[in-house]
Structure 1
């Protein structure tokens, strides 16, 4: 899978989207930093005129054996404009746990999943998520919903959005698999949400 451990490439990508802020470490320990290919984890905050973005910074780095996950992931919404510690903290902690899950899965599993599916779903712990987004202590995530005009690659690696799921939406994914993920992505797009995350968003399915 393609790889990049060049922060300037990521800065160039995000600089075309908005204003790139300071890099930081994780808020908690859910991201399994030691499992990241480069052995440590990092994140960057980006501000656009209408939203804030929290993105992994180096998840695609090459490991000691030269292998790479081949992707960076990000989450975007108005609640992230003021950074990681504000009302969007739940989105940041969801991003960090998703990054940890991907790192733990390893390059082979991630590469296979991306080759087989345009959209990937995960279930993570509830973390800081609002209670009405949680089912049985779990939060569902959909990775890869496209925002029109937003590039899907950073250099040679994938840039995947993360969209939190309402319990009813997660139930559709669990019941229908790939078809459910596609149907959900289409419904998000039809209602104008695309990949934007927002605690006030109502279920689209």
Structure 2
């Protein structure tokens, strides 16, 4: 009954697409081409397994990326250095079982060593209270709202990475070579200009 968070594998993209598009109105649907772009460009793209089965996924982009999301641009126009969570999806049968918390703990551990803030949004619509409560309990706070093209409002959330300054002052560009701080698959060959060499 354990949850394992690990890098997504290319052959899992069809399953990730199905998971995303079955998530309901709180998650924007995507097509296979867009998911492939995420696979090729996301700084952080990891899945959660529960007893060997795909139970969730989280994708995130650094503030210096060329990500084309309107909500990402909203953050970039107002903030400097952050990691933006584009989406987190948990399989309906696994909601409330700790999958979302496992993914958020993992992405926070990744961000803490690299970014001063973690950003995301929650669409304000019927049934959004559990998502807002989840994010609030994880330390996110609202910094504004963004009106979507369909008229829906998004609650724009940020969380400061409390240990970021200490990590940067202590380790600079030379983070320790330990598994939990290692770069995800997408960064092992990609260039990240702000000192994150491992």
- Name the TM tier (shorter chain): 0.3 to 0.5
TM-score by length of 1: 0.32
Normalised by the length of structure 2, the TM-score is 0.33
| Higher strand proportion (structure 1 or 2) | 2
